[in-house]
Amino acid sequence: MTIRYPNGKRYNTQAATKKPCNKKLSHSNRGMTLETDINETNDYYLSQRIAVIHKKPTPVQIVHVDYPMRSAAVIKEAYFKQPSTTDYNGVYRGRYLDFEAKETRNKTSFPLQNFHEHQITHMKNVLDQQGICFVLLKFTVHDEIYLLDAHYVIREFEAQHAKRKSIQKSDIETNGFLIKIGYHPRVDYLSIVDKVYFK
């Protein structure tokens, strides 16, 4: 029997029946990325009419596109039109909310080089307008997510020129707020926002 895909290509039955490999499986990347978790959480918040928070689109200028087929276009060259600010923004309980999401595979610290000057400037501008601004930081090795207030992140970023190049995990545990990872919502960061910004 010949099996074919919908496009007419022949299905390789030998490849499908290969014996499983005896190599050890790595489970280091089996979890979702922080961005995926946040996007699912935001969808939940929206569907439950809790908050309206979205990922900001990154402005890109497309320079060259190839059309290998009539129904498909492939972007070959593009540039960022302007520096990005932070990843997410929206409205919660009548307040403007703005935050950045970062991940690190480091076990004991978070490198401050992961932040850029224009992001710090943007956070300052949000704070100047009385907006809620913070960073969600994930230590992927520990599968832990912390909420760090923007004031703290800005202070650490500006201090890096004088002393250190990273924030120690122990300092993040002291100055940040651990977010419980659940199912629905996946990363309930608004429960921490309630405690920190709506006392």
Interior/surface letters 63-80, b for 16+ CB within 10 angstroms, e for the rest: eeeeeeeeeeeeeeeeee
pTM over 0.75: no
Residue pair 134/187 in contact (Cβ under 8 Å)? The answer is no
| pLDDT in single tens digits along all 199 residues of the chain | 455 545 555 555 454 444 444 444 333 333 458 999 999 999 999 999 999 999 987 656 666 677 777 677 776 666 555 556 788 999 999 999 999 999 999 999 999 888 889 999 999 999 999 999 999 999 999 999 999 999 999 999 988 665 668 999 999 999 999 999 988 899 999 999 999 999 8
pLDDT per position as a tens digit, 80-90: 555 567 889 99
DSSP letter, residue 185: S
Ordered by where they begin, the domains of the chain are 31-197 (3.40.1350.10)
Question: Which pair of tokens denotes residue 120?
Answer: 């710090």
Q: How far is CA 174 from the centre of its chain?
A: 22
